[in-house]
Homo-oligomer: A and B are copies of this chain.
């Protein structure tokens, strides 16, 4: 049996750690750096799988916590696995369920054994352990699955984060031992909060377990952008260069551009889909809040050079009409566009790395997001600000 994951680094930027690679998985090959749209409940919200493919998406993420509650892992397994259940024949990654257990559920109780919490749907008491998380993920059948980790709160004190780091290491080992399918690649997760030494300790503990890929967890949980970048910059160089590196739950365009420079290969975030449903649409000139009255008679496409269906066929005036009338088609077209924007950004990132000029691109990137280079675009007031960069 060939390994479920083959990762090849094809090119590394001469001036930073940015790299281009290919990640071959049972359900297909993706180019890295890659952005994963989030399909929380077994559907990327508001988009048909065939249209999701058309945006350029390769790998997508689904949430174990949500799928474990509804419809439950048994039904997904009986359906022939998550790919068949949700009609997505490309690669999928599932998280471990721990993060949502901590953030969405109530009455968390964490012990060395695992986490007990109450379902956010019906209050049912649920016990999640490394063994159970992996068993569920084995039932779902994603190409990449994640070790069960403890993501301590951003407000936790240092001793609590230290305990979470050591517990995450023990749980990672138990996750590896519980894993039963050789057609799924199990990734380890590094914790450690904003403490450099704890990040280093976690990286040493987790890499010692020799996973085929590594994630940096516990980021984008309330820390400042500078703290988030710092955690990635500290951990990334400690991860084996021949394994894919994944930053969980990140991020906005500037986050992606910044972390790619640190050598990150994989990202996931709800920003493009959630913003689409909230009428915030991504353009190279900045974020377009398309409900604004200024777009009522704007008969130009959202982005004139964007190949997506929303930009080829519709105007800003029509999108504004749909959003102000709360029509389903608003979020549907916005989702197609925003996901296409993110995939185009990743394509641009990969091209620039191949061209060996990533630093130059990175330096100019925030400038290009400020709406200077498109006269007909939104003005300065629509530029990305910390509110959208962190609202995920």
**Chain B residues whose CB sits within 8 angstroms of the CB of A45 once the complex forms:** 327-329
From B41, B49, B309, give the contact of A325 (CB < 8 A): B41
Which of B79, B313, B321 interacts with A317 by CB under 8 Å? B79
| A294-329 vs B, Cβ < 8 Å mask (1 yes, 0 no) | 001101000000000100011101101110110111
Tell yes or no: A48 within 8 A of B by CB.
Answer: yes
Q: Tell whether A332 is near chain B: CB-to-CB under 8 Å.
A: yes
* A86 at interface, CB cutoff 8 A: yes
User: Bound state CA distance, A374 and B169, in angstroms?
Assistant: 55
A75 at the interface (CB under 8 A from B): yes
* Min CB–CB distance A331 → chain B (angstroms): 7
In the complex, A43 has a CB within 8 A of chain B: yes
Check if A181 is an interface residue, CB within 8 A of chain B.
Answer: no
Q: Contacting A297 at CB < 8 Å: which of B47, B51, B78, B327?
A: B78
A85 at the interface (CB under 8 A from B): yes
A42 adjacent to chain B (CB < 8 Å): yes
Question: A36-55 interface mask toward B, CB cutoff 8 Å, 1 = contact, 0 = none?
Answer: 00000111011111110000
Contact A321 B78 (CB under 8 A): no
Quick check: B325 and A70 within 8 Å, CB to CB? yes
Q: List chain B residues, Cβ under 8 A from A49.
A: 313
> What residue in chain B is nearest A299 (Cβ atoms)?
B79
How far is A78 from B299 in the complex, measured between Cα atoms in Å?
8
- Which residue on B lies nearest to A50, using beta carbons? B309
A85-B317, A85-B318, A318-B86 known; A75+B296 contact, CB < 8 A: yes
Asked whether any CB of chain B lies closer than 8 Å to the CB of A241, the reply is no
A46 touches B318 (CB 8 A): no
Check A222 for interface membership: any CB of B closer than 8 A: no
A70 to B296 alpha-carbon distance, docked (Å)? 10
Question: Within the assembled complex, what's the spacing in Å between the Cα atoms of A251 and B80?
Answer: 38
A328 touches B331 (CB 8 A): yes
Query: Which residue of chain B has the shortest Cβ distance to A320 in the bound complex?
Result: B71
Which of A75, A318, A325, A329 is packed against the most chain B CB atoms within 10 Å?
A329
Chain A, 31-77, CB within 8 A of any chain B CB = 41-43, 45-51, 70-71, 75
A70 contacts B324, C-beta separation under 8 Å: yes
As a 0/1 sequence over residues 279 to 296 of chain A, the CB contacts with chain B under 8 angstroms (1 = contact) are: 000000000000000001
